[in-house]
Amino acid sequence: MSQPAPGSDRRLRILVVDADDRVRESLTGLLAIGDRVQVVGSSGLAGPALDLACECRPDIVVVDPRLPEVDAGLDFIAGLRSRCPEVRVVAMSWSDALERTALDGGAHAFLRKTFRPTELIAAIVAAGRPADA
């Protein structure tokens, strides 16, 4: 998958994965405000989210590593990295305790859910940059 070139008008395509409907709706609404990203889907469960990611090929998936099933979010990140290695992952959680595990498991960035909107956008944009940029 090609990433937008610096200065490009192409918006980053985002998939939001979180078990909490309110969080998914809030993130989707927040991300729709700007012109830098486009939300292409959302899901609350790891299995359907992985299928959706493979189908719609987002640039970035924003995911809470604590999905309802035990370790489902971490398994989702590993599965996504395996099936769609070009997709970047921004993990987010209420707990800092998952940061190292999420990053070691393949996430490209980690945010606490106490983030400010500008911090979320900055993390997404940074994750969307090619590794050599």
- How sure is the predictor about 130, in pLDDT bands with cuts at 50, 70 and 90? low
Range of the domain at 26: 12-128
Place of tokens 């998952």: 98
Place of tokens 């299928």: 51
- How sure is the predictor about 12, in pLDDT bands with cuts at 50, 70 and 90? very high
Least confident residue range of 46-55, 63-72, 86-95: 63-72
Least confident residue range of 32-36, 51-55, 92-96, 127-131: 127-131
Q: What is the CATH number of the domain that holds 53?
A: 3.40.50.2300
Q: Determine the pLDDT at residue 13.
A: 95
Are 76 and 50 in contact by the 8 Å Cβ rule? The answer is yes
Are 18 and 27 in contact by the 8 Å Cβ rule? The answer is yes
* Count: domains in the chain: 1
Of the candidates 117, 66, 84, the one whose C-alpha atom is nearest the C-alpha of residue 15 is 84
pLDDT in tens, 50-71: 999 999 999 999 999 888 765 6
**Two tokens, residue 127:** 């994750």
